[in-house]
């Protein structure tokens, strides 16, 4: 069988979701040993977002002490998201060192400027929370909870202050806890199935607690699909099928990897598919065609 199913996914994820993957939501970037917080007092693991006094934002040179600069760091993080949402390529790019842009987007600043305008701002990024912001000299880190469209993601950014501008140096995914009151649905990934208890899904107020229980890498693509769609036909479609909306994405996940798929807003009523298109290590077949495909309904 011709394995065409990847093409529309590639199209989606090479285009619209390229930025999402690149932002470190998916790829486990080699985490630069992040400033480990033995350099100042502002590093309790339970510390809330820093509330230290701060000099005015956007000031020229960084202060040597670091104390108080967390607000500049946080402002830069929010400005990065704003630039994305505004479609302001130059401003967005200005918040990354070239190496980070290369690692996370596979592009030089020039290449990014040429190709970036297409997908910037779609979907919008909403910074929901910044915590554990720390600054030491010209280095900083922060844990960021952001909604990329409807998908909530946790990221840890390592940043560097260059000439008064805080720039992303590297990022890695971190797990966001499922809020209380949200139904946590365990979702196991293995060869070759999505394993979950469909009866747990009674409404759209859910989150998935994902674990790769298998021996191969897997991914989760959550897509809203038309009520009358033929799922088997759909995954073999050459083109991005009409009416398919990708809601969430995770992977590739190594065996044993876990994450939470959390949604900013309840999932709308409708029909949803879970898909994995990674290729079987033995046959090269996409997992979806080997059975790693499932669906559920939200009333």
- Our CB check for Cu ion shows the closer of 106 and 256 to be 256
Q: Is 57 exposed, middle or buried (0-12, 13-18, 19+ CB in 10 A)?
A: exposed
Least distance between Cu ion and beta carbon 154 (Å): 23
185 vs 276, which CB is nearer to Cu ion? Answer: 276
Please name the residues in contact with 236: beta carbons below 8 A apart, sequence gap of 6 or more. 1, 4, 5, 289
For 135, half-sphere exposure in the C-beta direction (CA atoms, 13 angstrom radius) is: 25
CB of 53 to Cu ion, least distance (A): 50
Kindly tell me which of 19 and 286 has the beta carbon lying closer to Cu ion: 286
Return the number of the residue (119 or 272) whose C-beta is nearest Cu ion.
272
Q: How far apart are CA 123 and CA 20, in angstroms?
A: 9
Question: Measured from the CB atom, is 201 or 292 closer to Cu ion?
Answer: 292
> What part of residues 198-227 is at the interface with Cu ion (CB under 5 A)?
218
Nearer to Cu ion, 112 or 277 (CB): 277
CB of 196 to Cu ion, least distance (A): 14
Report the DSSP beta bridge partners of residue 212.
189
The least distance separating Cu ion from the CB of residue 253, rounded to whole angstroms, comes to 9
Least distance from C-beta 115 to Cu ion, angstroms?
29
Nearer Cβ to Cu ion (122/191): 191
Min dist CB 100 to Cu ion, Å, is 29
Judged by CB under 5 A, the chain residues 233 through 292 that form the site for Cu ion are 276, 278, 287, 292
Strand-pair partners of 141: 134, 158
Q: How many Å apart are CA 71 and CA 89, to the nearest integer?
A: 23
Which residues fall within 8 angstroms of residue 50, CB to CB, at 6 or more apart?
42, 70, 71, 74, 133, 134
Residue 81: how many other CB atoms lie within 10 Å:
19
* CA distance between the termini of the chain: 35
CB of 218 to Cu ion, least distance (A): 3
Nearer Cβ to Cu ion, position 128 or 285? 285
Measured at the CA of 188, the angle between CA 182 and CA 190, to 5 degrees, comes to 160
Site for Cu ion contains 9 (CB under 5 A): no
Q: How many residues bind Cu ion (CB under 5 A)?
A: 5
CA-to-CA distance for 94 and 112, rounded, in angstroms?
A: 11
Least distance between Cu ion and beta carbon 296 (Å): 18
In whole angstroms, how far apart are CA 197 and each of 178, 191, 200, 209, 296?
A: 18, 17, 6, 12, 10
Q: Which residues bind Cu ion (CB under 5 A)?
A: 218, 276, 278, 287, 292
């Amino acid at each position: 069988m011709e394995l065409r199913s990847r093409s529309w996914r590639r199209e989606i994820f090479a285009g619209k979701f390229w930025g999402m993957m690149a932002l470190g939501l998916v790829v486990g970037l080699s985490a630069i040993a992040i400033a480990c917080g033995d350099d100042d007092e502002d590093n309790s693991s339970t510390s809330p977002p820093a509330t230290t006094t701060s000099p005015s934002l956007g000031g020229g040179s960084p202060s040597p002490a670091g104390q108080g600069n967390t607000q500049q760091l946080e402002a830069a993080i929010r400005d990065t998201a704003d630039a994305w949402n505004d479609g302001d390529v130059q401003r967005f790019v200005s918040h990354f060192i070239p190496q980070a842009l290369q690692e996370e987007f596979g592009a030089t600043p020039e290449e990014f400027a040429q190709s970036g305008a297409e997908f910037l701002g779609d979907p919008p990024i909403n910074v929901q929370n910044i915590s554990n912001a720390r600054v030491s000299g010209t280095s900083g880190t922060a844990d960021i909870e952001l909604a990329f469209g409807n998908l909530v993601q946790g990221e840890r950014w390592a940043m560097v202050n260059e000439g008064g501008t805080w720039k992303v140096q590297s990022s890695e995914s971190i797990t966001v806890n499922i809020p209380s009151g949200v139904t946590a649905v365990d979702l196991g990934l293995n060869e070759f199935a999505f394993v979950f208890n469909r009866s747990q899904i009674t409404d759209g107020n859910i989150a998935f607690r994902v674990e790769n229980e298998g021996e191969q890498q897997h991914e989760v693509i959550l897509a809203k699909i038309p009520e009358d769609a033929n799922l088997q036909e759909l995954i073999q479609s050459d083109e991005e099928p009409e009416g398919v909306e990708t809601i969430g994405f995770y992977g590739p996940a190594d065996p044993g990897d876990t994450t939470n798929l959390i949604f900013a807003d309840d999932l709308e009523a409708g029909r949803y598919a879970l898909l994995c298109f990674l290729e079987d290590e033995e046959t090269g077949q996409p997992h979806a065609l080997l059975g790693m495909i499932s669906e559920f309904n939200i009333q």
